[in-house]
Structure 1
Amino acid sequence: MTDDRGKQVTLDRPATRVVALEWGEAETVVSLGVIPVGVADVKGYGTWVTAAKLDASVKDVGTRQEPSVDSIAALQPDLVVMESDDSTLVPQLEKFVPVLVAKGSDASDNLGRMRTDLKMIATALGKTAEADKLLADLDATLADGKAKLSAAGFAGKPFVMADGWKDGSKISIRTFGKGSLVSEVATQLGLTNAWTGEVDPQWGLGNTDVEGLTALKDPDTRFFYSASDGDDVFADGLASNAIWKKLPFVEKGQVTKLPDGIWTFGGPLSCKQYAEAVVKAYTA
């Protein structure tokens, strides 16, 4: 395989003892039918990712920000899958194991990037047929969802996707703008992302506060958010906020909390979960 570094990675045989250092890649490995021997922040994965569950055999190898090289080495993996080409981590790992670096996100074509990452990892695991089926299932879900939304009169309707957190008394809101993975999924369903603020070129993410949401004036806008860790700043932190209560989508009851555990930076199974939740919010 040629990974995101442009480096050719060669394996003698399909990898079976895999360590994944980001949740999107861990989900991808599991969805292809391989349980990793190690994952960074196993507990966090269990909270935020339900599309492809780990079993009790998976060892925790530290945080996603600072995985433990010693913990990884102790598992004797035959492949490590990660996202960023860390200038210090990769050389340490490559002393004892092949490393495959996935792109992880690209706001210029995130669904295309997800497909490329999936196929690269599937090649390393000898699971290309499984990858093709995952993509075919996702495509079928998107096509079916688009047809349902169109039939219900929601084609082209505006949506916003966000999450948030409380920092002292201030609530910060992270918006998933055009180019973010979940935005591309919703766009494939025939919806229109109403967030036009500045976003970063890798993830398609922006930042605002409750005042910034007043730019969303279209009364048809539906607001989606995730809060899988139980810290729901929209239902709790903004419940008595006068600006929040006056937003058109709040006044009209068009606010949808996603089911817990839909990872907004995941693989085809998380994308499928997200698409199904969006369609249900409009048509249930």
Structure 2
Amino acid sequence: MSKRTLLAGAAVLSALALAACGTTEPAGETAGAEPEGAAVTVTDARGAEVEIPAGVTDVVALEWVAVEHLQAVGLVPVGVADAAGYEEWSGTGAPLEGEPTDVGTRVEPSIDAIAGLAPDLIVAVAGRDDAAYADLEAIAPVLVLQGADAADPVGTMFEDLRMVGEATGALDAAEAAIADYEAHIDEVSAAVADAGLEGTPLAHMDGYENAGQVEIRPYADGALLPAVFESIGFTNAWPGEGDEQYGLGVTDVEGLTALPDDAHILYMTVGERDVFTQQLASNEIWNGLPAVQAGKVHRLPDGIWLFGGVGSMAAYADAVVAALSPTP
């Protein structure tokens, strides 16, 4: 059987926050911001200079990663796009705090619902059109995060968190959350080495049924998840390329024959939706993969958002090690 060409796919961004402690220093003293008690101007992912009032407390988050960044610096959003979806997809790695108002979907948030909350700040992620930003900016300042960048996925996660910290007067809390994450990664890396798992090839992927056909979305080099598992000692087994922002590709089941024989396959889903154990249960190509035959396919726990922040990625690292560690 010939291997199919591995295609790069456009990313579809379908978003346990680390509690940061310590006193809050003047926002941006180390990043050029105004002293505490004054407004701050932050240059966001659009290159726009966003003027944000002092004392931000009421914030609306239009992407799940923005929710996590806000919670990581000690701010509970008053409004969240698709709050129910957040709890379903991210509730284990970074549980939703408080009781935020649902402000519509992440693709199409409700302008009326957001306006009704009279927020001090709205946090979005790059990818919306200019008209959408204009509508939101009529309500409150809009801070646009990069969300992802395949050139530096972990660094982008950190910079977005720092931007949220600077904008809300909690840059020290952002730095503390980053330091906690890096310390946790060091601990997990040591556990991987002790278990003799260093260098194990992993391939993380999503599976979807589209018009009766199974579509696979592998996480290529540049995606956040491989960057995280590589940081703790594993290697990315997927040989294909991904898009420039999220590092995601697309292939079919036959394309998975490009994986090396010793690769482990990782995936996540929610609830009973499971393409890999349902739609592919009788697929000859899938069942013939070395990873499947060797029992090296691992469904990781529900509720860890794959495009999240430091809390989600710390939980992801833990889940990967738990899945590959031999049972006592």
TM-score between the two structures when normalised by the length of structure 2? 0.83
Residue 155, structure 1, aligned to residue 195, structure 2: no
Pairs within 5 Å for 1:219-238:
219=262, 221-238=263-280
For 1:17 and 1:241, locate their aligned partners in 2 and report how far apart those are by CA, in whole Å.
Answer: 50
Give the aligned length: 283
Partner of 1:103: 146
Worse overlay, 55-64 or 112-121: 55-64
- 3-state SS of 1:227 partner: coil
CA contact (8 A) 1:31 1:52 kept: no
Match 2:229 to one of 186, 192, 195: 186
Correspondence for 1:241 among 241, 264, 283: 283
Q: What amino acid is the match of 1:5?
A: R
Deviation at 1:138, TM superposition (A): 1.2
Matched residues in 1 for 2:173 and 2:97: separation?
20
AA of the residue aligned to 2:301: P
Matched, 1:132 2:160: no
1:33 matched residue in structure 2: 74
Q: Is the 8 A contact 1:141 1:276 kept in 2?
A: no
Distance between the aligned counterparts of 1:224 and 1:178, measured in 2?
A: 15
1:20 maps to 2:61? yes
Equivalence map 1:260-279=2 (5 Å): 260-279=302-321
Q: Distance in 2 between matches of 1:243 and 1:278?
A: 25
Identical aligned residues as a percent: 45
Deviation, structure 1 residue 253? 0.9
- Structure 2 Cα separation of the partners of residues 273 and 104 of structure 1: 19
CA shift, 1:230, in A, is 3.0
Contact 2:81-2:106 at 8 Å conserved across structures: yes
CA contact (8 A) 2:198 2:234 kept: yes
TM-score (norm 1): 0.96
Specify the code of the residue in structure 1 equivalent to 2:55. Answer: P
Q: Which residue of 1 aligns with 2:131?
A: 88
Q: What residue number does 1:283 align with?
A: 325
Contact 2:94 2:304 in 1 (8 A): no
Q: CA deviation at 1:55?
A: 4.4
Q: Is the Cα contact below 8 Å between 1:14 and 1:124 reproduced in 2?
A: no
Greater mean alpha carbon deviation, residues 264-273 or residues 32-41: 32-41
Contiguous gaps of at least 5 residues in structure 2: 1-41
- One-letter amino acid of the structure 2 residue matched with residue 112 of structure 1: G
Residue number in structure 2 paired with 1:197: 240
Distance (whole Å) between structure 1 residues aligned to residue 325 and residue 166 of structure 2: 38
Aligned equivalent of 1:119: 162
Mapped to 2, the partners of 1:229 and 1:205 lie a distance apart of 23
Which of 1 and 2 has higher RCO (CA within 8 Å, sep 6+)? Answer: 2
Whose helix proportion is higher, 1 or 2? 1
Secondary structure of the residue aligned to 2:180 is helix
1:166 aligns with 2:206: no
Alignment correspondent of 2:14: none
- Using the TM superposition, give the Cα deviation of residue 133 of structure 1 relative to its aligned residue in structure 2, in angstroms: 2.0
The secondary structure found in structure 2 opposite 1:10 is strand
CA RMSD of aligned residues (A): 1.4
**Structure 1 stretches of at least 4 aligned residues deviating more than 4 Å after TM superposition:** none
Equivalent residues of 1:138, 1:268 under 8 A apart: yes
* Structure 1 unaligned spans of 5+: none
- SS at the partner of 1:260? coil
